[in-house]
Amino acid sequence: MSQFLSNCSADALATAAQALKDGSLVAFPTETVYGLGVDATNAEAVARIYEVKGRPSDHPLIVHIADLKYLDQWISDIPEYAIALSREFWPGPMTLILRRSELAGDFITGGQSTVGIRVPDNSVALGLLEAFHKLGGAGIAAPSANRFGQVSPTTAQAVSEEIGEYLSEIDLIIDGGQCEIGLESTIIDCTAELPRILRPGAITIAMIEEATGIKVSNSLNCQSVDFERESIRVSGSLDNHYAPKAKVFLDQRPLVGSGFIALESIATPEGVIRLAAPISVEEFARVLFSALREGDHLKIAAIYIAQPAGDGIAIAIRDRLLRASGMRKVKEENN
Ligand code: TXA
Ligand code: MG
């Protein structure tokens, strides 16, 4: 069983950074979801991440750094538009896929020639990263701190429920409260002439267009990326990812006895258990994963969700909901 760290003082984060240096796993908050961190240059420790998550080892990990100045060592090349994106949105909920350097080992990239990098926008995450760099660390690799295929955790409690039993006493879970955004980062492939969204998130197509001056056409809309044909492996793109135990229906007419998640403006029919009533799409994103978890705690068999309409983060919400509902057919690779 791991230790719980609810004190996020500079001293406590320095201790956690030293634990990472020594090969421990440290779960920590980011503005998107909680990550399960490890020294990104320590192959043995990284192998433990895959065990704890139950994740296939060819699925690459995102390397987190505290600042743009730590980027160069991880990559061999960066297009102009990616420089513009990094300046505009880091720290923030955006992961850039770039050509890797030698430092990014096969055990991080799943043997691919690219590496995913992100500067998170959360004071605890940045404090931990700064302390880790101060000890000579190059970056912290961190997947979402859930078992493979499950809902990402947005609180330390959820991390503990997900993976607590798989961690050992040298590992830590840092409690930094609830994640502000609640959905995983936007992943942008920056290895071709034009940027391409691999996973939608809080950094939207419009924001990317504005920052780069490049028109991201509809065909690049993340929802239409055909992952089956992709040589790039984005594990979050597998169809039954983000699935709670309850059966999820994307329908705003819940049956009696089932759970219901919808914007506040939509009333709760009689006999239905309201799991969340967010007042905006941003709040919808923030509470969605914990509401799905709550449904599982209550042992509800079916959860009905009224999908929010529109662009922006609503696209990312609908992407996760499609997967949680299993409405995208389960592919052979996810068996
Ligand atoms: O918001 C986030 O991105 C969170 C926080 C902790 O930073 N992290 C996260 O990590 O969601 P993970 O491992 O659960 O999802 C990252 C996704 C995976 O689907 C992985 O396959 C993809 O990023 N990925 C990582 N490196 C990649 C690469 N070089 N090429 C393509 N996809 C990559
Ligand atoms: Mg994940």
pLDDT in tens, 180-235: 999 999 999 999 999 999 999 999 999 999 999 998 754 344 443 433 333 344 54
74-125 pLDDT, tens digit per residue, is 999 999 999 999 999 999 999 999 999 999 999 999 999 999 999 999 999 9
249: helix, coil or strand?
strand
DSSP 298: T
Task: Quickly list DSSP for 103-119.
Answer: TS-HHHHTT-SEEEEE-
> Do 167 and 151 touch, CB atoms closer than 8 A?
no
CA of 62 to the centre of ligand 2 (A): 10
Q: Is the C-alpha dihedral spanning 165, 167, 170, 176 positive or negative?
A: negative
CA of 146 to the centre of ligand 2 (A): 7
Taking CA atoms only, the protein residue closest to ligand 1 atom 29 is: 115
Angle, CA of 296, 299 and 302, to the nearest 5°: 80
pTM: 0.93
Taking CA atoms only, the protein residue closest to ligand 1 atom 10 is: 143
289-306 pLDDT, tens digit per residue, is 999 999 999 999 999 999
Angle, CA of 81, 110 and 31, to the nearest 5°: 55
> Do 175 and 5 touch, CB atoms closer than 8 A?
yes
- DSSP E strand stretches across 190-243: 196-199
The Cα 67–Cα 144 span in angstroms is 20
186: helix, coil or strand?
strand
Please report, as a single letter, which amino acid is at residue 315: I
- Is 59 near ligand 1, meaning CB less than 6 Å away? yes
Please report, as a single letter, which amino acid is at residue 47: A
